[in-house]
């Protein structure tokens, strides 16, 4: 797949958000490969990025033959 930083708009700063397009992934030993509109699309927003902590909000959609899956999550990573 590929990724790219998004330009800022309204209250969003440049490089605060990232777009991911997932071409392939492996789950339970099986590799799924997608092309075109079926590639998973995820938007990550860096809510906090510091030397000791990173908080990322994720919103995404994955389209495959016969179904669509969406997800939303917030993850916190802390330096130990």
Tell if the pTM clears 0.85, that is, is over it: no
DSSP 12-69: BPTTSEEEEEE-EEEETTEEEE--GGGSEEEEEEEEEE-SSEEEEEEEEEEEETTEEE
The answer to whether 76 touches 66, Cβ cutoff 8 Å, is: no
Q: What is residue 21's predicted lDDT score, i.e. its pLDDT?
A: 86
Residues of the chain with pLDDT under 50: none
Sign of the C-alpha dihedral computed for residues 38, 2, 22 and 8 taken in this order: negative
């Amino acid at each position: 797949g590929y990724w790219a930083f998004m330009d800022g708009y309204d209250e969003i700063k440049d490089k605060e958000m990232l777009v991911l397009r997932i071409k392939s992934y492996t789950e339970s030993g099986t590799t799924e490969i997608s092309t075109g509109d079926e590639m998973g699309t995820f938007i990550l927003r860096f809510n906090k990025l510091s030397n000791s902590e990173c908080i990322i909000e994720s919103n995404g959609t994955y389209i495959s033959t016969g179904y669509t899956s969406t997800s939303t999550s917030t993850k916190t990573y802390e330096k130990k």
